Amino acid sequence: MNRTPILAVSGIDKTFTMHLQGGQRLAVLSDLAFEVFPGECVVLGGPSGAGKSTILKLVHGNYAADRGRILLGSGVDVATADPRAVLAARRDTMGYVSQFLRCVPRVPALQVVAEPLVERGVPHDEARERAAAVLTRLSIPQRLWALPPATFSGGEQQRVNIARGFLPDLPLLLLDEPTASLDSRNRDAVIALIHEKRSRGVGMLGIFHDPAVRDAVADRIVDVEAFAPRAGAAA
């Protein structure tokens, strides 16, 4: 295994200041540090509210860190990079599969899934073929492909989201409960996708509440509670 991390997080603090609640400060993470290497799936563990989703959002750049480093294998520090560098990292280095599909309402499912490939320069036809293949694997019937996912059930939307997130070949994938509302057959399909990514050297950082899924995919578990700010500590 390549021993250069694809993601190296160190010294990260995260506090939310809520101005609408009189400037109340909510410290979520203190001195967070962990690494993800190519070809491994690191799972964030800990009870809900411990800051697992916050970590994924910090790495993806949706949340700003108070201090510390979030170093990608490409050398970009997401914690300090300017917006253009973060956008470039999202295009070339890291993908994010969120819990909910967020896209323009009237775009057909096939296009929603193919879009990340097209944006990375893959020809339209090839992108559509690959999108169709992954939708088939995730049991989205062909009659739905031309329809916008907004009309789909929750589970179908989530599978479209997974297809979209897994399709581009990126060295790092962030997974926020990708199996949460899936039946067992589709859960197994997602586990198989994760195993394939891993065998191709992709590093993954994920949240999985389902213990069976977690056991099936986790190479290591990072206990997020170890990075809880101490009560009463000066932020």
Partner 1 sequence: MTPLLQVRGAGHRYGLRHGCRDVDLDLWPGEVLAVVGESGSGKSTLLGTLSQRLGPSEGSIRYRMADGRVIDLGEESEAAVRRLWRSEWGFVHQDPADGLRMHVSAGGNVGEPLMANGWRHYGRIREAAAGWLERVEIPADRIDDHPTTFSGGMRQRLQIARNLVVSPRLVFMDEPTSGLDVSVQARLLDLIRGLVFDLGLAVVVVTHDLAVARLVSHRTLVMKDGRVVESGLTDRVLDDPHAAYTQLLVSSVLQG
Q: Which residues bind partner 1 (CB under 8 A)?
A: 16-20, 57, 61-64, 83-84, 86-87, 102, 104-107, 119
CB of 86 to partner 1, least distance (A): 6
Nearer to partner 1, 81 or 180 (CB): 81
Helix (H) or strand (E) holding 105: none
How long is the chain? Answer: 235
CB of 186 to partner 1, least distance (A): 26
Please identify which residue in the block is written with the tokens 């990375």. 120
CB nearer to partner 1: give 4 or 21: 21
Closest CA to 205 of 64, 5, 19: 5
Q: How far is the CB of 87 from partner 1 (least distance, A)?
A: 6
Distance CA 69, CA 59 (A): 10
- Please state, in angstroms and rounded to a whole number, the distance separating the CA atoms of residues 224 and 136: 35
Cα-based torsion angle of the residue sequence 136, 126, 180, 220 in order, rounded to the nearest 10 degrees: 120
Q: Which is nearer to partner 1, 30 or 98 (CB)?
A: 98
- Residue keyed to tokens 């213990």: 211
CB closer to partner 1, 106 vs 230: 106
Number of H helices, E strands in the chain: 7, 8
Residue with smaller CB distance to partner 1, 16 or 210: 16
User: To which H or E segment does residue 157 belong?
Assistant: helix 154-166
Shortest separation between residue 235's beta carbon and partner 1, angstroms: 15
Q: Which residues pair with 27 in a beta bridge?
A: 15
Please state the closest distance from residue 119 (CB atom) to partner 1, in A: 7
Cβ 114 vs Cβ 127: under 8 Å: yes
- Residue (2 or 24) nearer to partner 1, CB: 24
CB of 63 to partner 1, least distance (A): 4
104 neighbors 98 (Cβ within 8 angstroms): no
